[in-house]
Chains A and B, each alone.
Chain A
């Protein structure tokens, strides 16, 4: 069974803190993605990666960075958390190639106070 896990379901951080969100997939997928979901805005792509150590900016990369040291793990980093980064963060993975289907983790609800 396909599995994408995220390190935390709920997280509360203070403004200015450095925040790490971890995502692990067990499907040997090449592609991994980080999205944030906000009401009325849908899912917006922050960063994605097609291979280990490779990363590409999505539509809203400002204030975020990523790390992919191993194929199964993709980390999202908020360098200095701000209140406008309060959101639901979703990680996804997919096979490289013709399939567009992405498999999502359960999400991390991050609140920055």
Chain B
């Protein structure tokens, strides 16, 4: 059973508009959440994270929101740029040591 779910396999957005990527989790032990970005033929790179004691974290064009009661987090990218086109993975930690559990990923395409 998937503990971290990204229910949208893909998302297409116009350049300059907002991209919203969603992630749901089931394990209440998770207390830290991260977003990674992955280009083809490269390893994932860390984008932004949030601890369970917060409900929002911003870094430039990227904002992550956490709703603990709903076990839901989202990544907002504003404004979206063509270079943001990549696969985005949501990940959760806290269940055991420094291990992370990843979602299946969402392919974001930003059209110019």
Q: CB within 8 Å of B: which residues of A?
A: 4, 9, 31, 33, 35, 40-45, 48, 50, 58, 90, 92, 94-97, 99-107, 109
Contacts and interface: CB of A to CB of B under 8 A. Distances in A.
Given A101-B34, A106-B42, A42 B102 contact: yes
Contacts of B100: 45, 100, 102
Interface in B18-52: 32, 34, 36, 41-46, 49
A95 B93 CA distance: 14
| Size class of the B contact interface (CB-based, 8 Å) | 20 to 34
Nearest to A105: B43
Interface of B: 4, 6, 9, 32, 34, 36, 41-46, 49, 89, 91, 93-94, 97-105
B105 A42 contact: yes
Contact of B43 (A4, A94, A99, A100): A4
A43 B89 contact: yes
A104 B98 contact: no
Contact of B104 (A41, A48, A103): A41
A90 to B, nearest CB: 6
Contacts, number: 63
A50 B97 contact: yes
B43 A48 contact: no
Contacts of B49: 100-101
B97 to A, nearest CB: 7
25 contacts: A4-B43, A31-B98, A40-B104, A42-B4, A42-B103, A42-B104, A43-B44, A43-B89, A43-B91, A43-B102, A45-B99, A45-B101, A48-B99, A58-B99, A94-B98, A96-B98, A99-B98, A100-B100, A101-B34, A102-B46, A102-B98, A104-B36, A104-B43, A106-B43, A107-B42
